[in-house]
Each structure stands twice: as C-alpha cells, then as structure tokens.
Amino acid sequence: MGGELASSSTSIPTTDPNRGLTEAEVHARRARFGPNELPQPQSPALWRLALAQVTHLFALLLWIAAASASIAGMTELALAIVAVILLNGIFAFLQEYRAERAAARLRSLLPLRVTVRRDGHEIVIDARELVPGDIVILKAGDRVPADVLLLEGIDVAVDVSTFTGESVPINPSPGDAIQAGTSLTRGRAIAVVTATGANTRLAQLARLTAAPRRQPTPLTRELQRLVRIITVLAVSVGLLFFAVAVFLRLPVLDAFVFMLGVTVALVPEGLLPTLTLSLAVAAQRMAERRALVRHLEAVETLGLTTVICTDKTGTLTLNELSVTSIWTPAGSARLFGQGYEPDGESDIEPGAEASVRELARAAALAADGRAVWRDGRWLPLGDPLDTALWVMVHRIGLDPDAIRAKAPVLRTYPFDPHRRRSSVPTESQLIAKGAPENVLPNCRDS
C-alpha cells in the first residue's frame, strides 16, 4: 500500500476504496490516533466563574462600602449593597455560563453515525470509531464526520458555512479536502478520512473559541480607572469631613462614623447593576440574531467599532437565502416571510398571476431541496438555493410535491461550471436553472 495521503495534520497510507481498511488496520490506527472526538474544551470551573463576578475591582469597592456602612451602624444600607453585589454577580454569571455552554456546542457538529467501507463491506458505525484511512460514504443531508479527501462524487455540493460563513455550497472535485463539521447538501460522495478528533480543522476552530487569558477591554480599563478615582475621592472627602468634625470638637467615634457615612454616600452603588443590565440586554439582542457574546464587556468594544471589513455572507447576515422578488414578461411579484419558513405571503401584480404560477411550477421541478423543522426552526435540507425556491413555491400557494408528482423528472443534469446551468427534463419540457446570460438565450420569448 504505497503512497501517502497528506492532510493538514496527519500523513497516512492510502487505502483501497473498494475494500477499505481491515479490522487489524483499524485497531492499530485507533491505538495511534485515538477516538474521533473533539477534545473537551477547557472551560473555567463554575466556582471560579462565579467568584470572578463578585471580586472584580468595582465589586471590591462595594464590599468595602458595605463593610463601612455596617461598622457605621447603617445595617440596612450595608445589606442593600451586599444584595446589589450578589444579584449583579448572579446575573453576570448566568450570562457568561450560557455563553460558555454555547461555545461548547461545536462538538454537536459531528454526526453520531456514519457509513464506512471495511473489509469490502459497507457498515454503519459510531462516528467516534473512525480512524484515518477509513473509506466513508456520504449522501445529501449527512454531516462530514472527520477531515476527508474526496475520492468519487456524483453532483456533490458541500455547505461550508461553519468555516467560511458563505451560504452558497461549494462543488468539490475528486482530490479536494472536505472538513469535519460541514455537510453534504446534494449528491453522493466516497471519501477517505485524513484526520480525526483533535487533528481536524474543526478541533482547531474549537481551540480558538477556548481563548487563553483575555486582554482587558476598553470598558474594563475605564471602569478600573473610575474605581480608582472614586476611591481616592471618597476617602479624601471622608478624611476631610473627619478632620472638620474633630476640629468642631465632636467625639472621635461620632466623627469616625460621620466619615464612614460620607465615604459610603460617595460610592455609586447603582452603577454596577445598571451597567451589567445594559450590557446583558445588548448581548441578548445579539444572541437573538445568532451572534455569541461570551463576555459582556465585549459588547461595548463592538460598540466602539467604526468600520468592519468583511466579504463573508453569513458572518453579518442571517446565512439564509430567500426569494423576495419575481419578474416575468407579464409582471412582477413580491414575496414576504421569515427565513426558510414555508408560510408567507405574495403580492402579485394584476395580470401576472398565470406567469408567476408557471414560473413557480418550473422552480418546483428544478429545485432539489426543501426546508425541514428541526431544533425549533426551519432549516434547509439540500442546496440552500433550491430550498429557497421550494419555499418560494409554497409562499405563492402551490405544493412542490404535488407538482413533481404530476410531472415526474426523468433525470437531472447537475450544474456545470462551463455551461453555468443545471437542467431537468420532463415528458413535455426541459427546465433550466442558472446564470441569466446562459439560460435566457435558450428560452422561447426571451
């Protein structure tokens, strides 16, 4: 078994695609490379995460203020300050704990089961049992279980938005690498595993989210500066009033209590919960738009940003494709709805109803995708562009499955980068989908 298959992290002997690995080879490689699992992220201990919320510089200032109020006999004020510290700490802890849990969900990007070829037979195994050199068989809808090299593929399209943020799937050719955590949106593929577990690109991405010691944000630095100013000011004014009280011949104990009261009064106890709540509201709004904020102070840092340079669709957008407008020779239409949810509305110009419905029927035959309800939301199954067309047909008021049942597709000619279109023939017509400059010249009445 000569030759070498190189990946970003592993070099392994080539494998016969028709036979796959033997059991002896599997055991030897599993002993060498370990299970196909992402390493457990090094999350901070819960007690450390909780302690950090009540021991930062501002919280320490409030603890001192609470102790001073207690010594001065202002028990209710002391208890109120302690309550502010604890409630604020609990709120901030819950926010960061949820963010840590969300960051750890990268492990769920790997599938639980996968089809492999071993000893000449196709079998289904746990994805964690994969080893470098395994031959895997993937079909539309499958998640890629490890870093692989494509050996054979029929009309293969891969969703790589996990890594690039791009909504449009790529079309790999034999010899191209496909990373773990991506998914096939179309076609069937045979590939050889080049890296598993901690050696995959997905594991590298997971390590990036487990950032080491973080640098203080601009907000943290400003808060530390404010605390120092407040401390110096409060202590200075308190000492000044203590000196005045002694000068006016008040008892020293009364003067000391007076000094503590003035010092505590100068500490803005309400600033900490106000700041935390403001940042938490902003973090929650970003979470609703699927942007993860692991540390609340980062919200303010983002607010200071004046220019963001990006070319990645899906990084700042919803990573969803949606048909919003239709143009036909007879008139146009506007579509309304949320994401890939089939329910929606359409506003068709008078006289264009027949043309728009005819276009929708053609789209139903040309689109090999659909939306499925999973994890509480509608997700694309297959090519996102085809899914968007499937949703469009529903919003116009037609049933794509019923249309396909009445006019069965005889075969599919996949997208060709040279022709820049795909096409499907039925018994009565040929429907093409692709770049306008390549499709329109072949259309009647264009």
- Active-site residue list: 311
What's the rounded Cα separation, in Å, for the pair 365 and 370?
12
Residues 6+ apart with CB under 8 A from 357: 396, 398
**Residue at 400: amino acid letter:** P
DSSP 8-state symbol, 342? S
What's the rounded Cα separation, in Å, for the pair 173 and 361?
32
Dig out the tokens for 8 from the structure: 């970003």
> What count of other Cβ atoms lies within 10 Å of the Cβ of residue 219?
18
End-to-end C-alpha distance for the chain, whole angstroms: 57
Instruction: Quote the radius of gyration of the chain (alpha carbons, Å).
Output: 31
What's the rounded Cα separation, in Å, for the pair 443 and 331?
18
> What count of other Cβ atoms lies within 10 Å of the Cβ of residue 217?
18
Residues 6+ apart with CB under 8 A from 245: 254, 255, 258, 259
The Cα angle at residue 34 between residues 32 and 37, in degrees rounded to 5: 155
